[in-house]
Amino acid sequence: MSADLIITNISTIYTPYKKPPVHGRDMMSIHEIHHAYMAIKDGVIIAIGSGNYHKHTGPNTIIHDANQKIVIPGLIDSHTHLVHGGSRESEYKRLIAGTPYLQILAEGGGILGTVEMTRKASFNDLFEKAKKSLDEMMLYGVTTIESKSGYGLNLDHEIKQLKVNKKLNQVHPVHIVSTYMGAHAIPKEFKDDKDLYIDQMLLDMDIIKSENLAEAVDVFCESGVFSVKDTKRILSHAKALGFKIKLHADEIHPLGGAGLGVELGATSVDHLMAISDQDIEKLAHSNTIANLLPGTSFYLRKKYANARKMIDHQVAVAISGDYNPGSCPTENFQFIMQLASNQLQMMPEEVLNAVTINPAFHLGLHQEKGSLEVGKSADFVILDAPNLTYILYHYGINHASDVYIKGKPVVLNRQIVR
């Protein structure tokens, strides 16, 4: 079978190959193919190897010379708050002066400030702003993201956010997986009646499910936001409706959200800076992914999640960006990977598994994405770097030169292909 496209002259292809979820010490396993090529037909990888690629060429094959650059799978950012109105630099000075994140929220700012701005924004405003951020993410090599609602906090405005995800997924090459997060904060109008807000959310979920606007439901399980009991109620209902479930767990206070996630069969538990040893053990024996977000610790100047302990105890770890206006305002996913390496002390091989196959697994995409193998989607990044470690070592800059999604170039020479 002749290829539509062959990427040749690749110095090294780095790819995970273990069956996901890739736990603990298996996260050190990756394949390195030197002097490599990759042949693609109809958006799917049909051959990958080293040496002579000519047997895959035909009269119409396009050859792309990688000029001795390296190739990795498209990056999968499995936790973002992409769609939101406005920005929160007005809180930045208070934050760096030491005002706690949850105090700003309790005063009606923080997430609730973004809720006001998101409610005021039109669908088009939100769409254009999110599209710009998505372009930026793609320039850094991101080819799939998860995107949450959670700044509308009522049915109409949550649906507005989810419909932005839907439209972006139709018109933008980056693949988007949508999550409903009405349980991101308690809206002002329900300030004194959280249970009534939860009742309302449970009803809203039926509609979101019937309109097929989200695959998963997420809850911010935290002191002053949704308790473990609230979270259990919301996620049990979501699960019964057929949603995947996940939670923002043990971010600031060790409430036991991670353990609850394992108990309920969550696909991921996210943040985990304050996770207990007991819950690390529970995670290790489950298929729930520990989704760590080091960019948030960096921005909020909080302690980092203990990735080393988790990996050493056989937990399956993913790393995500958490792009949002209040705790991680950056689209630079390579910087997030560099933080995972430098601050979480994850080895380059572990980081690669954590930003490709493990997130693909918890998003339910591992059959087609997350590694470079014959039969999988040709989502990959060509990086102007001599080896994998270099992209983590030389930090703060963008190493991605070209990005392909389903075999089509979406970034060439650092420019978006329109």
Ligand X SMILES: N=CN[C@@H](CCC(=O)O)C(=O)O
Q: Which residues sit in the known binding site for N-formimidoyl-L-glutamate?
A: 151, 324, 326
Q: Does residue 248 bind ligand X (CB under 6 A)?
A: yes
The answer to whether 272 touches 290, Cβ cutoff 8 Å, is yes
Site string for ligand X, 34-73 (x = CB under 6 A): ----------------------------------------
Site membership for ligand X, residue 246 (CB under 6 A): no
Residues 6+ apart with CB under 8 A from 159: 152, 207, 208, 211, 213
- Which stretch in 50-58, 84-92, 107-115, 316-324 sits in contact with Zn ion by CB under 5 A? 316-324
Any contact of residue 110 with ligand X (CB under 6 A)? yes
Residue located via tokens 């309920």: 264
Return d(Cα 291, Cα 387) in angstroms, integer. Answer: 25
β partners of residue 241: none
Stretch that binds ligand X, among 14-22, 232-240, 274-282, 320-328 (CB under 6 A): 320-328
Mark out the alpha helices in 265-347 (DSSP H runs). Answer: 277-284, 294-300, 307-312, 333-342
Q: Which stretch binds ligand X (CB under 6 A): 106-114, 229-237, 256-264, 352-360?
A: 106-114
> Binding of ligand X at residue 358 (CB under 6 A)?
no
d(CA 97, CA 200): 37
Stretch that binds ligand X, among 50-58, 280-288, 323-331, 332-340 (CB under 6 A): 323-331
* 92: CB partners within 8 A, 6+ apart: none
Backbone torsions φ then ψ of 196, nearest 5 degrees: -65, -40
366's contact among ligand X, Zn ion, none, with CB below 5 to 8 A by partner kind, is none
Q: Where is the binding site for Fe(3+), in residues? A: 79, 81, 248, 322
Among 30, 76, 111, 112, binds ligand X (CB under 6 A): 111
Residue 325 CB, shortest distance to Zn ion, in Å, is 11
**Least distance in angstroms from the C-beta of 378 to Zn ion:** 30
Compute the distance between CA of residue 27 and CA of residue 317 in angstroms, rounded to an integer. 8
